[in-house]
Amino acid sequence: MMIRLPILLMATCALALVSCGGSATPSSRAAAAATPAAPTAAQAGVTEVHVSDFKITPATITTSGSSVTFAVHNDGPTVHNLTVRDSSGKVVASTKTLKPGGSETTSVQLAPGTYTTFCSLPGHESLGMRGTLVVSE
Ligand SMILES: [Cu+2]
């Protein structure tokens, strides 16, 4: 009994930490969108991306593994999205266009390589909403 009690307490703490992490999602819409994916896997490899007038932060994103999860937040006063195209110009991932303050979490399978992140709204990429995504093995 003297040995089992601390282990039980540690298990309870670990559970509390997991549920804390799960409730940190800023909007209920993002939480709902993330639900179909495995929650633990998504949390481990989530890349936070902020879009605003007119930039994408971070400008360079480096990830490893084939599954990339973005948590995209619109910090600007106007609508934006995050779109990813490969080196041939083909769009391989995109969020919907997010209202100011809006968020979306999206997961995509990507082969190793270098991709371009941008906002697909007219003119936004040339105004500075462009970045680089590097996926390594
Ligand atoms: Cu934009």
Going along the chain from its start, the domains and CATH numbers come out as 27-136 (2.60.40.420)
User: What does the pLDDT read at residue 66?
Assistant: 83
Distance 25 CA to ligand 1 centre (A): 23
Distance 3 CA to ligand 1 centre (A): 57
Question: In sequence order, what E strands does the chain have?
Answer: 46-52, 55-57, 60-64, 67-74, 83-85, 91-94, 103-109, 113-118, 130-136
User: What does the pLDDT read at residue 44?
Assistant: 55
Distance 36 CA to ligand 1 centre (A): 27
Q: Is the peptide bond before 54 cis (omega within 30 degrees of 0)?
A: yes
Residue 108: closest CA among 93, 118, 95: 93
Distance 64 CA to ligand 1 centre (A): 26
User: What does the pLDDT read at residue 12?
Assistant: 43
Distance 76 CA to ligand 1 centre (A): 9
User: What does the pLDDT read at residue 22?
Assistant: 42
Rounded Cα gap, residues 68 and 46, in angstroms: 7
* 31 three-class SS: helix
Distance 31 CA to ligand 1 centre (A): 23
User: What does the pLDDT read at residue 68?
Assistant: 92
pTM of the model: 0.68
User: What does the pLDDT read at residue 32?
Assistant: 44
User: What does the pLDDT read at residue 65?
Assistant: 84
Tell me which residues of the chain have a pLDDT lower than 70: 1-44
